Chains A and B, each alone.
Chain A
């Protein structure tokens, strides 16, 4: 079974600085998807960034980028120029590829989360 581990329960960053959140996962699959979701105090889960395992290039979305190390099974999130609105709980998530014949691949497996605070 796949597992996702976030070893940093809490992180803090100064406004305008850069912070990196860590995530490791365990799987025997060669093809899969990785996600970072943000959950602010409102508890709405918001997609931040997505990475396909078959793509070697690291995904980037504006100030958010990932460092995907497939061999090490590591998937870290870098937030550049941190803003007060970035303060939230961040979850790393794994999903197997879809296999509709066997109804597989639908579920997201989440880590325990990292609480990010941003200091003005």
Chain B
């Protein structure tokens, strides 16, 4: 049973560029959440996708956008990159089949903005 996968594993960009990160959820999961984790900090919630729509959003600017595809995979797009966007980006998947909806995380994408 494949877990949550993310690509790429590492990425280096320069200020002002745009980046797209990808996530495939765990088999049987239909909901994808994205988190940003700066070095030495706990993850911060960016947004959550379900049924191809953004359902909940954290305190992130509009430069951060996303998409969910019919196969439940998801993309995170960040425009006009800033140095402060350097972080580990984590994707988590879950299933809306009950109360608990435990989130399982992928290995993350490390983004460095120069």
Contact = CB atoms under 8 A, between A and B. Distances in A.
Given A108-B43, A109-B45, A103 B55 contact: yes
Give the dominant DSSP class at B's interface.
Answer: strand
Given A52-B99, A112-B42, 12 more contacts: A4-B42, A33-B100, A42-B107, A44-B106, A45-B90, A45-B105, A98-B101, A106-B50, A106-B56, A107-B33, A110-B43, A110-B44
Contacts, number: 67
B103 interface: yes
Interface in A72-120: 91, 93, 95, 97-98, 100, 103-113
Interface residues on A, range: 20 to 34
Interface string B83-114: 00000101010001001111111111010000
